[in-house]
Amino acid sequence: MSTTDDPRIEAMLAREEIRSLPIRYAAAVEARDVDAMAELFSPHARFGSYGEGPDGLRRLMTDSLTGSLFAVILVANHLIDLSDEAHGSGQVWAHCYAHTRADGFVDQLIRYEDRYEKLDGRWLFGHRRHRLWYGSSHANSPLAQPAANWPASQVGVGDIPLADPEFESWWRSIR
């Protein structure tokens, strides 16, 4: 259902909804919320050997996030091209900071190449390709230090990761 007869306004609304997809994806990764991620993808999206649709994504991301203690993705430079009223493509850059049990503290520079489709009135990822520019593991993790106790100190681990039970358990184990 159209909200306006002006195609320029429709395109602006489409771009705004599409722009929220990578941000919602990043928030779901941070929360380790695989179901929230699955809601962002078309039921036709394919995930290689993991399958397609929401179940394929759930398998992929459950595997990917196993052992994740912390992950934050900063989203930037989102370019969106609309093909028609229900299809588009784009790219978005992301800087990921993560800490995993296997690799320790890692940062990555990623370019996602995306295809979007509108189904049942909602814009979704039709396809998302993760293109790694670099990934770097660090010998010294900024998370392996005492709590910052902000505002008394700005240096140290902050309250956000310490509020996560899985992270806090790991953090206490290295103290």
Q: pLDDT tens digits, residue range 41-54?
A: 999 999 999 999 98
For 22-78, what is each residue's pLDDT tens digit? Answer: 999 999 999 999 999 999 999 999 999 999 998 999 999 999 998 899 999 999 999
| Residues 137 and 148 placed together within one structural domain of the fold | no
CB 110 within 8 A of CB 132: yes
| Residues 42 and 125 placed together within one structural domain of the fold | yes
| Residues 90 and 55 placed together within one structural domain of the fold | yes
In a domain, 2, yes or no: no
In a domain, 27, yes or no: yes
CATH number at residue 110: 3.10.450.50
When pLDDT is cut at 50, 70 and 90, the band that residue 2 belongs to is low
In a domain, 1, yes or no: no
Q: Report CA torsion sign: 111, 114, 34, 76.
A: positive
| Residues 116 and 82 placed together within one structural domain of the fold | yes
Range of the domain at 156: 142-175
Number of domains in the chain: 2
Instruction: For residue 73, count other CB atoms closer than 10 A to its CB.
Output: 20
| Residues 118 and 131 placed together within one structural domain of the fold | yes
| Residues 77 and 148 placed together within one structural domain of the fold | no
What is the model's pLDDT at position 150? 86
What is the model's pLDDT at position 3? 62
Average pLDDT of the chain is 93
| Residues 104 and 171 placed together within one structural domain of the fold | no
In a domain, 151, yes or no: yes
> Tokens in use for 97?
């900071």
In the chain, the percentage of residues whose pLDDT exceeds 70 is 98
In a domain, 21, yes or no: yes
In a domain, 117, yes or no: yes
> Does the pTM exceed 0.85?
yes
Among 47, 34, 24, CA closest to 127: 47
Identify the residue with better confidence: 20 or 7. 20
| Residues 151 and 110 placed together within one structural domain of the fold | no
Measured distance CA(75)–CA(64) in Å, rounded: 19
For 129-146, what is each residue's pLDDT tens digit? Answer: 999 999 999 989 999 899
| Residues 157 and 131 placed together within one structural domain of the fold | no
> Which of 18-27, 81-90, 145-154 shows the lowest mean pLDDT across its residues?
145-154
- For residue 151, say if its preceding peptide bond is cis, omega within 30 degrees of 0: yes
